[in-house]
Amino acid sequence: MSQFNTSWYLTRLAKSQKVQQADCNEGVAREADLHGQITAECKAKGWLAFHGSMAHRTKRTEGEPDFTILADGGRVFFIECKRKGGKLSSDQQAVKAWAKKLGHEVHTVFSIEQFRAITTL
């Protein structure tokens, strides 16, 4: 059982929802490359990007987005990165569904261009 402690219902709800995969065939071959690009972009803009290490098993909540970004103007972004063809895990789907229920959006991105489009709205 995962460390993400939502009810069975939320996990089932997340599994039943279709994940936005329209652009999953475009993007980076390695997720780590996208992490580096997003980190550099945030640093250049003076944003705070909270991000766990990909080299170690997470000590954070299972399914937690890769990035929590504090941007200018009081904006906050929750970003999940995926490589070309990647899909969200059940835990990631559950977190995304719970965040949506609370009025937040977890964005799944496959490229730096998608990240830029989301953060420039």
Domain at 104, CATH number: 3.40.1350.10
Q: Confirm whether 15 is domain-assigned.
A: no
Task: Summarize pLDDT for 57-79 with one digit per residue, the tens.
Answer: 656 788 999 999 999 999 999 99
How many angstroms separate the CA atoms of 115 and 31, rounded?
13
Q: Confirm whether 115 is domain-assigned.
A: yes
Domain extent at residue 51: 45-121
How many angstroms separate the CA atoms of 54 and 50, rounded?
13
Q: Strand 106-109 vs strand 67-70: parallel, antiparallel, or unpaired?
A: unpaired
34 by Cβ neighbours in 10 Å (0-12 / 13-18 / 19+) ranks as buried
Q: Confirm whether 25 is domain-assigned.
A: no
How many angstroms separate the CA atoms of 35 and 33, rounded?
5
Q: Confirm whether 11 is domain-assigned.
A: no
- When divided into structural domains, the chain yields a total of 1
For the segment 114-121, the average pLDDT, to the nearest whole number, is 93
For the segment 90-109, the average pLDDT, to the nearest whole number, is 96
Task: Summarize pLDDT for 24-70 with one digit per residue, the tens.
Answer: 556 788 899 999 999 999 999 999 999 976 656 656 788 999 999 99
Query: In this structure, how many other beta carbons lie within 10 angstroms of the beta carbon of residue 9?
Result: 9
Q: Confirm whether 66 is domain-assigned.
A: yes
